Amino acid sequence: METFESIFNRAAGRKGGAAALEELLPRAKSARSLAAVPDRDVLAEMTRCVFRSGFVWKIIENKWPGFEDAFHAFDVTRCAMLSDEELEGLQNNTEIVRHGKKIASVRNNAQYILDVREEHGSYGGFLAQWPDDDFVDLWAHLKKGGDRLGGQTGRFFLRFIGRDTPSFSRDVVKALIDAGVVDKEPTSKKDLAATQEAFNAWRQESGRSFCEISRILACSVP
Please give the pLDDT value at position 65: 98
Please give the pLDDT value at position 164: 97
Please give the pLDDT value at position 100: 97
Whether the model clears a pTM of 0.85, i.e. scores above it, the answer is yes
Q: Where in the chain is the domain with CATH 1.10.340.30?
A: 32-161
Parts of the chain with a pLDDT under 50: none
210 vs 117: CA distance, rounded Å: 26
Please give the pLDDT value at position 61: 97
Please give the pLDDT value at position 85: 97
Alpha helix stretches (DSSP H) within 121-182: 123-129, 135-145, 151-161, 170-178
Domain 32-161, CATH? 1.10.340.30
Write the CB contacts of 61 (distance below 8 Å, at least 6 apart in sequence): none
Please give the pLDDT value at position 161: 98
